[in-house]
Amino acid sequence: MELKEKLIIITGGCQGLGRAMAEYLAGKGANLALLDLNQEKLDQAVAACEALGVKARAYLCNVANEEQVVDTVSKVAEDFGAIHGLVNNAGILRDGLLVKVKDGEMTKLSLAQWQAVIDVNLTGVFLCTREVAAKMIEQKSQGAIINISSISRAGNIGQTNYSAAKAGVAAATVTWARELARYGIRVAGVAPGFIETEMTGSMRPEALDKMTSAIPLKRMGRPDEIAHSVAYILENDYFSGRILELDGAMRI
List active site positions: 162
Q: Which of 168, 69, 183 is nearest to 133 (CA)?
A: 183
Classify the phi-psi angles of 104: left when phi > 0, otherwise alpha if psi is within -120 to 50, otherwise beta: left
The amino acid present at 116, given as its one-letter code, is A
- 3-class DSSP state for residue 158? coil
DSSP state of 97: -
- Which CB, 101 or 111, lies closer to ligand NAD? 111
Pairing of strands 99-102, 105-108: antiparallel
Nearest-approach distance from CB 23 to ligand NAD, in angstroms: 13
Nearer to ligand NAD, 147 or 240 (CB): 147
Shorter beta-carbon distance to ligand NAD: residue 13 or 143: 13
Q: In sequence order, which residues have a C-beta less than 8 Å from that of residue 144 and are 6 or more positions away?
A: 1, 84, 85, 185, 186, 187, 188, 233, 234, 239, 240
Min dist. Cβ of residue 134 to ligand NAD (A): 19
Q: For residues 128 and 141, which CB has a smaller minimum distance to ligand NAD in the complex? A: 128
Amino acid letter, residue 175: T
State the Cα–Cα distance between residues 222 and 197, nearest whole angstrom: 8
Q: How far is the CB of 149 from ligand NAD (least distance, A)?
A: 7
For residues 141 and 233, which CB has a smaller minimum distance to ligand NAD in the complex? 233
CB of 140 to ligand NAD, least distance (A): 28
Task: Judge contact between 10 and 32, C-beta under 8 A.
Answer: yes
The H or E element spanning position 213 is helix 205-213
| Minimum gap (Å) between residue 246 Cβ and ligand NAD | 9
Q: Which pairing describes strands 56-60 and 7-11: parallel, antiparallel, or unpaired?
A: unpaired
Rounded Cα distance between 36 and 120, Å, is 12
Q: Under the rule (CB under 6 A), what is the footprint of ligand NAD? A: 11-12, 14-18, 35-38, 62-64, 89-92, 120, 124, 148, 150, 192, 194-195, 197-200
